[in-house]
């Protein structure tokens, strides 16, 4: 392996560095972009239970905010719940924008690695062929070892660049789709809470432990939520 790397010339160094960086990003994103870490399905149900039981206070809000990105979004919405549905939606959108930015962290870097490593390999090919033709000009075609060195440099860098680029591109596309899926989950879960607090109809949310059975019960839960949020803000 060391001999192959040495035969590839100095352009193997940036290709190897790109591969190390890509591996680190892939491992980190696999760990971070977990459904349970980003949008735990119990979060909305837990919040609704707190609201119904009158337990939503500053400590619960802090616990919610620190628990997950979804909790951060829900907490932002709850802080504006007493100001109406539109204000709650606006707060959720602003918080979600920051969360989405964090979800997309390092993905542009991974995409850049997938794009530039084939170019580095191509540059190595060009450098290797220049070396071959230089040897031909100096020594003619009789020195097979010199020609083989240039040709191997040209081929090895191309192969190394593609070896890094192909999995990096595949992982980049996977993580982009993963982020899209997580964003959709965040939107759906936050919409459930908004509908539960400000909707005019019963919300069918399986994550809720118990839903209000009547409009009077819903109104009571909404009043409790407003009181809890107001107490939290004070």
Listed in sequence order, the residues at least 6 apart from 201 whose beta carbon sits closer than 8 Å to its beta carbon are: none
CA distance 209 to 191: 17
Closest-CA residue to 205 (of 197, 213, 196, 214): 196
CB 40 within 8 A of CB 70: yes
Q: Say how many domains are in the chain.
A: 1
DSSP string, the chain: -HHHHHHT-TTHHHHHHHHHHHHHHHHHHHHHS-HHHHS-TTHHHHHHHHHHTT---HHHHHHHHHH-HHHHHHHHHHHTGGG-HHHHHHHHHHHHHHHHHHHTTTHHHHHHHHHHHHHHHHHHHHHHHHHHHHHHHHHTT--HHHHHHHHHHHHHHHHHHHHHHHHHHHHHHHHHHHHHHHHHHHHHHHHHHHHHHH-SS----TT-S---SSHHHHHHHHHHHHHHHHHHH-
Per-residue pLDDT of the chain (234 residues; tens, 9 = 90+): 666 667 667 888 999 999 999 999 999 999 999 888 998 888 888 888 888 888 888 888 898 889 899 999 999 998 888 888 898 899 999 999 999 999 999 999 999 999 999 999 999 888 878 877 777 777 766 666 666 666 777 788 899 999 999 999 999 999 999 999 999 999 998 988 888 887 665 554 444 443 444 444 455 555 555 555 555 555
Q: Specify the pLDDT at position 234.
A: 52
What pTM did the predictor assign? 0.76
Expressed in angstroms, the distance from the first to the final Cα of the chain is 65
Q: Specify the pLDDT at position 47.
A: 86
CA distance 173 to 168: 9
Let me know how long the chain is: 234
161: domain range?
2-233
CA distance 170 to 185: 23
């Amino acid at each position: 392996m060391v001999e192959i790397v040495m035969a590839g010339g100095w352009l193997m160094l940036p290709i190897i560095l790109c591969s190390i960086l890509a591996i680190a990003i892939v491992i980190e994103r696999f760990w971070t972009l977990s459904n349970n870490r980003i949008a735990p399905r119990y979060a909305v149900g837990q919040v609704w239970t707190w609201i119904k039981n009158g337990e939503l206070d500053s400590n619960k809000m802090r616990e919610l905010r620190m628990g997950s990105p979804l909790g951060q979004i829900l907490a932002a919405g709850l802080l504006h719940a007493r100001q109406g549905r539109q204000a709650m939606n606006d707060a959720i959108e602003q918080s979600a924008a920051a969360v989405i930015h964090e979800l997309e962290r390092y993905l542009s870097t991974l995409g850049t690695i997938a794009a530039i490593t084939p170019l580095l390999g191509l540059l190595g090919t060009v450098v290797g062929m220049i070396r071959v033709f230089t040897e031909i000009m100096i020594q003619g075609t009789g020195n097979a070892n010199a020609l083989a060195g240039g040709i191997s440099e040209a081929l090895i860098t191309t192969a190394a660049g593609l070896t890094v680029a192909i999995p990096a591109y595949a992982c980049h596309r996977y993580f982009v789709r993963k982020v899209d899926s997580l964003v959709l989950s965040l939107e759906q879960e936050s919409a459930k809470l908004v509908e539960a607090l400000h909707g005019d109809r019963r919300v069918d949310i399986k994550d809720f432990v118990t839903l209000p059975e009547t409009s009077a019960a819903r109104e009571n839960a909404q009043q409790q939520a407003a009181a809890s949020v107001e107490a939290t803000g004070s």
